[in-house]
Chain A
Amino acid sequence: MEGLSVSDANLVVYVHPSRSKNVSQAILRELSSLLFKFNETFDGVVLAYAVNALDKHARILSGVHPYFGVRLKANLLLFSPKPNMLLEGKVVKLMRESIHVIVLGFSSAVIVDEDIRDEFRYKSKRGEGKYVSRVHKRHTIKVGTMIRFLVKSLDEEILHISGSLIPDHTGSVGWLDGDVKNSTTESNKKRKQPDGEIEVQELGIASGDTHSVNNDREIKKKKKRRNAEEH
């Protein structure tokens, strides 16, 4: 998945005198206020931060007098989706007209039916809809599937992405990574697996999927940390 990056930032945090008693808390609070918001300076959304080098000396700056500036270096995990990037997310709702996806657990994305390539056909079985590829029967997208899609645009305010499934290399992550089992967990038993594919699948799970899973976990951890700090 693209759009995630780690960047080193040199920051100056202006601390209000009323917070001077506990400067490190004030700094963390200030940095926490950046989280999960689009920031133009970083050109992305700050997902997590680590302050690694605190400057021992703060300065009182003439222009912003009673505030004092604390210089610090911070490591930021940024999420900056740009048009034509490939993102991955989990399908939370699927209808004929649109597929709704959540990326990294917080950003929402929608793919409307015109942006779904003709290869996919909508099918509804017992009230549960899914998109099935006409070419590869096992390539299906339904609620719960991780899909890879192309970014068309981003609403920075609410972090809402408009996506597309037009390019060939988009669709169910499981299928694209050669893992049929993952994408069709339930109906898979009935089907005959081609020889040797199982091993490949296992590898697929091991290598391809772990990345995104790890990402997810990492973010959850960071989220927790953030919560802890806020309290």
Chain B
Amino acid sequence: MGVELAHNGECHEMEDVNFSDSELVYHVRDALISVQTGDSDSYHQLVGVMHHSERLAPDEVALLVTSLKALSGAVSYIDNVHHDSLLNSIFGMSLWKYGPDVMDALLELIIALAASNGKYVDSCLDMLVSNFMPPMYLVNTLKQPRGLAKKEQVLSRVHTALEGIVDLIPMAASRLSSVVVHRMPTTFKKDLQKDHLMYRTEVYVENILRLESGAIREFVGSRMLMAVVDMLIELDVAIGWDDILQDDSCKGIFAIELEDADEVAADDDNDENDYAELPRTLNRKSLGKNIVADLLDSLMVQTFEHLESCARNKRLGEVFETLLDSFMLTILNTYKSKFAQFVMFYACALDPEKCGVKFANTLVDRFVCSDNAVTRMSAVAYLASYLARAKFLSAAFVASTLKRLVDWCLEYCETQNGEMNPKAHRVFYSGCQAIMYVLCFRMRSLMDVPRLKSQLLVMPLGPVLKHKLDPLKVCLPSIVEEFLKQAKAAYLLTTSETFIFEDLLESDFSRDFGGLERLDMFFPFDPCLLKKCDRGYIRPNFVYWKHVRTTYGSDEEDSSDEDITEDFVVVNGESFMEEEGAGSLDEQHLDLDEFDYAMNKMSITPKNGFTYRFGGEQMQMPSRIRPSTTPESL
């Protein structure tokens, strides 16, 4: 009713009288004022116009644009008590429904409204932020290529409007971050079953990142980045371990998972197209069709791309600061975070010299001088996993970081007289385990450089590891076993005592020092199970256990697959273990044929390959260490 009235009423006026802009403004002002005197006809017409939304005819569009423009001129007359319905309908409008003309007029009105009175700032920001996400019914259209133009049309305007508001009202920036965080879509599993909601969440995060890189990043940037990290963590913890482990035997899964990962790695580097022919990928296999995981995967990719763009714009440093803070605040203390930490990993990979080094140093600092035992253990678990897995870190840096850890452990030993006690000295044991774990991965590469070799040889590993506290007995047997084997081969450390490991993954002692959180089994940078993340971003920077050369590797004669290993080690000796990572890309490509040949020779089929390759002593490490993600560890 009201719509009709308004339509007829104002259109006639426009045709007949041909109002000028300012006359229109006065007309609208009168309409607004007259509400207070009881005459609200023209006001209701105005409100009616705001409700025009479905399939507007050109004259309706013109009417709407004119009314919005006139209202922008009359904002100081809008009163939040008397014009409640008008305000509600303005704030309820969705930009996605309209063409560019209406959008521009509406945003002009919103900016004017925000600037006119402090009361409306929050509502205006809220309205703009609610337009970050398209309405549900539009999602399918937007997913098509031509939908992109529409998306850009709306979002670029929304962001310009936000910047406009902050220009006029600087204090609005602080409100904006709260509104964005408050409006963040919640991610309940059931809702996510719908692809639409997933898409909307992706668009929302895209907007957050856009704010982070936009003109007002100085005011809202860091909060936005933290919001994204929080969201990743939230999704991360929403993926339970049950989702990852769908098959019955968990060890089998990880074996297969590794197999697949390796195979993909081999083919991937070679030829992208071969990918389709591979057996089901690790993600499908281990995570199944898990929508939360898919969403997390694509959000992680978005974040990675954002980091890349920051690196291109030379502002990775400032972004990294925030990320690091956020990591220390949330991820570090999140119980067994599985994926979100790879954001840090990738940021470090983008700038190994600054960010990569800083990350490790911050973790060591936290380990050495925090108050909370759990935080310290968690920090050192991150550190160990990071030093072991980050291909981009130089051997020299790994050595110097190890030195700091060993020094701390030594200092600790010297103050202790008691006997072994996993619970009381848990921080110490976690430090020792970290040292051993890193050395399992890096010993050979350190030994290959004479300078680092001598550094390693003078490190007081013996006094620490053979101390009365007996870390060799307490730490995870699988790690200790591998470490001792390598250390013996490298003449780094020999033990008089013989340890009988019986192929145990964990022991009662390790369980004890790991505590309820099982930090003894926490290797946060184990291969990433998210497919897109892993393939495009993490993998090129990642050290897989199978690419690691061990100190005993080339000397071992009795291994059943000796030839192959020999081959493999030599091949990789030149490419993958070239510690200065990125530079060796070319070499890597040269070696790929050979590498592929080696792989074919091994004729890997996912299931049998496992027993074939990991059955041998040489490859025992990954399947033993991998299950940091098994349910046993919970």
Q: Which of B184-236 contact A (CB under 8 A)?
A: none
Q: A76-118: contact bitstring with B at CB < 8 Å (1 yes, 0 no)?
A: 0000000000000000110111101010011110101110000
CB pair B175 A108 closer than 8 Å:
no
Given A96-B22, A97-B25, A100-B115; A108-B168 close (CB under 8 Å): yes
Provide the bound-state CA to CA distance between A158 and B116, in Å: 12
Q: A106-147: which have CB < 8 Å to B? A: 106-108, 110, 112-114
| Contact indicator A158/B169 (Cβ below 8 Å) | yes
A111 to B74, CA, bound (A): 13
Q: A155 at interface (Cβ–Cβ under 8 A)?
A: yes
Instruction: Select from chain B the residue with minimum beta-carbon distance to A162.
Output: B117
Say yes or no: is A220 at the interface (Cβ < 8 Å to chain B). no
Residues of B within 8 A of A98 (CB): 75-76, 112, 115-116
Which B residue's beta carbon lies closest to that of A21? Answer: B371
Q: Which residues of A contact B172 (CB under 8 A)?
A: 158
Q: How far is the CB of A131 from chain B (nearest CB, A)?
A: 15
CB neighbours of A199 from chain B (8 A): none
Residue A67 at the B interface, CB < 8 A? no
A-B contact count (CB 8 A): 62
How far, in angstroms, from A97 to B26 measured CA to CA in the complex?
Answer: 11
Q: Which of A108, A157, A159 has the most CB of B within 10 A?
A: A108
Given A97-B73, A97-B76, A107-B171, also A155-B25 (CB < 8 A): no
How distant is the Cα of A97 from the Cα of B174 in the complex, in angstroms?
A: 27
Given contacts A108-B115, A110-B116, contact A159 B73 (CB under 8 A): no
Instruction: A64 to B169: give the CA distance in the assembly, Å.
Output: 38
Given A155-B117, A158-B121, A160-B121, are A92 and B171 also a contact pair (CB < 8 Å)? no
A36 within 8 A of B: yes
Cβ of A105 and Cβ of B170 under 8 Å apart? yes
Which residues of B are found within 8 Å of A162, using beta-carbon distances? 117
Contacts of A106 in B (CB 8 A): 170-171
Question: How near does chain A come to B23, taking the closest CB pair, in angstroms?
Answer: 12
Give chain A nearest CB distance to B265 CB in angstroms. Answer: 40
| Any A CB within 8 A of the CB of B119 | yes
Residues from chain A with a CB closer than 8 A to the CB of B74 are 97
Residues A44-82 near B (CB distance < 8 A) = none
Q: State the CA gap A83–B72 with chains docked (Å).
A: 26
Residues of A within 8 A of B121 (CB): 158, 160
Of A105, A107, A110, A113, which one neighbours B115 at CB under 8 angstroms?
Answer: A110
Residue in A closest to B76 when the chains form the complex, CB atoms: A112
Interface bits B71-83 vs A (CB < 8 Å: 1, else 0): 0111110000000
Complex Cα spacing A102 to B171, Å: 10
**Which of B25, B72, B167 is within 8 Å of A92, CB to CB?**
B167
Q: Which residues of chain A are near B115, meaning CB under 8 Å?
A: 93, 98, 100, 108, 110
CB neighbours of A95 from chain B (8 A): 73
Q: Is B418 an interface residue (CB 8 A)?
A: no
Whether, in the assembled complex, B240 has its beta carbon less than 8 Å from a beta carbon of chain A, the answer is no
Q: Would you list which residues of chain B between 157 and 176 have a CB under 8 Å from chain A?
A: 167-172, 174-175
In the docked arrangement, what's the CA distance between A95 and B72, Å?
A: 11
B118 within 8 A of A: yes
Distance (whole angstroms) from the CB of A205 to the closest CB of chain B:
27
What is the chain B residue whose CB lies nearest that of A106?
Answer: B170
In the bound assembly, the distance between CA atoms of A26 and B181 in angstroms comes to 26
Distance in angstroms between the alpha carbons of A100 and B168 in the assembled complex = 7
Which B residues touch A112, using CB under 8 A?
76, 116
Question: How far is it, in angstroms, between the C-alpha of A82 and the C-alpha of B319 when the chains are bound?
Answer: 40
8 Å CB contact of A157 from B73, B76, B118, B170: B118
User: Which residues of A sit under 8 angstroms from B119, Cβ to Cβ?
Assistant: 155
- Nearest to B73 among chain A residues (CB) is A97
- Nearest-Cβ distance from residue B559 to partner chain A, whole angstroms: 54
Of all chain B residues, which has the CB nearest A158? Answer: B118
Bound-state CA distance A102–B174 (Å) is 16
Among candidates B72, B76, B175, residue contacting A158 with C-beta atoms closer than 8 Å = B175
Residue of B nearest to A97 (CB): B73
Min CB gap A230→B, angstroms = 10
A92 vs B546: C-alpha distance when bound (angstroms): 62
- Cross-interface CB contact of A155 among B76, B118, B167, cutoff 8 Å: B118
CB distance from B78 to the nearest CB of A (A): 11
Contacts of B117 in A (CB 8 A): 110, 155, 160, 162
CA A93 to CA B165, docked complex, whole Å: 11
> B171 contacts which of A96, A100, A158 (Cβ < 8 Å)?
A158
With a cutoff of 8 Å between Cβ atoms, the chain A residues found around residue B174 in the complex are 36
* Closest Cβ neighbor of A156 among chain B residues: B118
A96: which B residues are within 8 A, CB to CB? 22, 73
State the Cβ distance, B396 to closest chain A Cβ, in Å: 29
Closest to B25 in A: A97
A228 to B76, CA, bound (A): 39
Question: What is the CB-to-nearest-CB distance from A174 to chain B, in angstroms, rounded to a whole number?
Answer: 22
Give complex CA distance A95, B74 in Å: 12
Provide the bound-state CA to CA distance between A107 and B74, in Å.
Answer: 23
Residues of A within 8 A of B22 (CB): 96
Chain B residues, Cβ within 8 Å of A158:
118, 121, 169, 171-172, 175
Q: Are A108 and B25 in contact (CB under 8 A)?
A: no
Min CB–CB distance B421 → chain A (angstroms)? 27
Interface flags for B96-120 (1: CB within 8 Å of A; 0: not) read: 0000000000000000100111110
Complex CA–CA separation, A147 to B392 (angstroms): 57
Chain B residues in 8 Å Cβ range of A100: 115, 168
- Within 8 Å by CB of A160, from B75, B118, B167, lies B118
A106 to B173 Cα, complex, angstroms: 10
Quick check: B171 and A108 within 8 Å, CB to CB? yes
User: What distance in Å separates the Cβ of A25 from its nearest Cβ neighbour in chain B?
Assistant: 15
Which B residues touch A157, using CB under 8 A? 118
Closest residue of chain A to B371 (Cβ to Cβ) is A21
The CA-CA distance from A162 to B169 in the complex, in Å, is 12
A-B contact pairs, 16 of them (CB 8 A): A36-B171, A93-B115, A95-B73, A97-B25, A97-B75, A100-B168, A110-B76, A110-B116, A112-B76, A112-B116, A113-B76, A157-B118, A158-B121, A159-B171, A160-B121, A160-B169
Residues of B in contact with A (beta carbons under 8 Å apart): 22, 25, 72-76, 112, 115-119, 121, 167-172, 174-175
Please give 11 more A-B residue pairs, beta carbons under 8 A apart, in addition to A93-B168, A97-B76, A100-B168: A97-B25, A98-B116, A105-B170, A108-B168, A108-B171, A110-B76, A112-B116, A114-B76, A157-B118, A158-B118, A159-B118
Interface residue ranges, A against B (CB under 8 Å): 36, 92-93, 95-98, 100, 102, 105-108, 110, 112-114, 155, 157-160, 162
The 8 tightest CB contacts between A and B, nearest first, are: A155-B118, A160-B118, A112-B76, A108-B169, A158-B118, A97-B73, A106-B170, A100-B168
